[in-house]
Amino acid sequence: MESLLRHMVELTGQRDHNLLDVAIISALQEMVGASQVRMMDIFRTGDEALVRARAWITNGTVTTIDESTADHRNDTPLTHYPVLLECIAHQGGRVEEIGSDGETILWVPIWQNDIATACLQITGTTTVAPAALHVMEGILSVYRNYQNLLDYSERDSLTGLLNRRTFDEKFSRMASSQTVPDSHALPNVDRRHPNDVEGQWLAVVDIDHFKRVNDQFGHLYGDEVLILVANLLRSSFRTQDLVFRFGGEEFVILLRSVSLNDASSAFERLRANIEEHYFPQLGTITVSIGFVSINSSTPVVILGHADQALYYGKSNGRNQVCFYDELVRRGQLHSEVINDHVEFFFDN
């Protein structure tokens, strides 16, 4: 009972989704004596349902996708887990199977509004006892309720993406995790091409001519377009990358630990995915994207740079990806810093 109360206190004391995931998988691992517990996202891209691990604990070691330096974009089709797939199809609460190595796997879908948005994979050498299952269900009910409270405060009610209110905290956390290599300790770093050095990136995405969509089809259909674009944004990036709706038709992406070439490719891939997607009644739409590297500047300055790159693209044909530093280098944009806080921008 003391252990259970301790875990309940830890669950309800969290103010962050990652820490909430860590609290629930730690509680379940200790309660059932599992060798591994994984929290996995379930999402769709096109007509395909995919599964992506976001937090896991193995033999007492906890890892979250936010902390991992590896690229975990190797999404797995849900069809690779037929027992879980059948459980979800029948709106089940849990299902057990024996893995290929003889271990017992307990699948527990996490439901939100009749949609399985995540699942737990609990792996151990023995079947979970009925008494432990009963307690586990109670803890999961608390987890779901608390997750809904966090989502209500952190997420945009229309698209389900992170909202603007959460941006400053997420940006500060990403910026503080950025490390600058010591060129004396790592002389080989200087030999790498700048485009190959990993960094953090911010992009602003804006739907081209979105006002025409609202004017021609109405705001309800405009909302449907925003939801579809949000789904394309969500499926185009890794779990450790963050996607925000800033309001209207504008979105912001925080992309972590990739090179300039990879960042540019990711944003270009997003642009192409949206252009190639068929929107009912409307046909096709396009987006313009401006992006910038995240450095020691304030969020206001970084956003200002990305906005300038975005609006350069919109003023010069739309449906393109523009990198702020490249535009400045070419002389196509010029910025003048005033007292280190406010910048005025000029489009040459």
Q: Are 38 and 29 in contact (CB under 8 A)?
A: no
Which residue from 255, 323, 249 is spatially nearest to 286, judged by alpha carbons? 249
How far apart are the C-alpha atoms of 189 and 196, rounded to whole Å? Answer: 10
Residue type, 151: D
Helix axis angle, 210-217 to 219-236, nearest 10°: 140
Cβ-proximal residues to 26 (8 Å cutoff; 6+ apart), any chain: 7, 10, 57, 62
Residue type, 105: I
Radius of gyration of the chain (CA): 22
DSSP one-letter code for 103: -
Is 249 considered catalytic here? Answer: yes
- Start-to-end C-alpha separation, the chain: 69
Cβ-proximal residues to 224 (8 Å cutoff; 6+ apart), any chain: none
Look up residue 54 and give its two tokens.
């976001």
How far apart are the C-alpha atoms of 278 and 303, rounded to whole Å? Answer: 30
For residue 64, what are the CA distances in angstroms to 55, 58, 314? 4, 12, 37
Catalytic residue among 30, 48, 103, 249: 249
How far apart are the C-alpha atoms of 78 and 66, rounded to whole Å? Answer: 22
Q: Are 197 and 257 in contact (CB under 8 A)?
A: no
How far apart are the C-alpha atoms of 203 and 321, rounded to whole Å? Answer: 9
For residue 60, what are the CA distances in angstroms to 27, 66, 122, 256? 11, 18, 13, 27
Phi/psi-derived region of residue 145, left when phi > 0, alpha when psi is between -120 and 50, beta in every other case? alpha
**Catalytic residue list:** 249
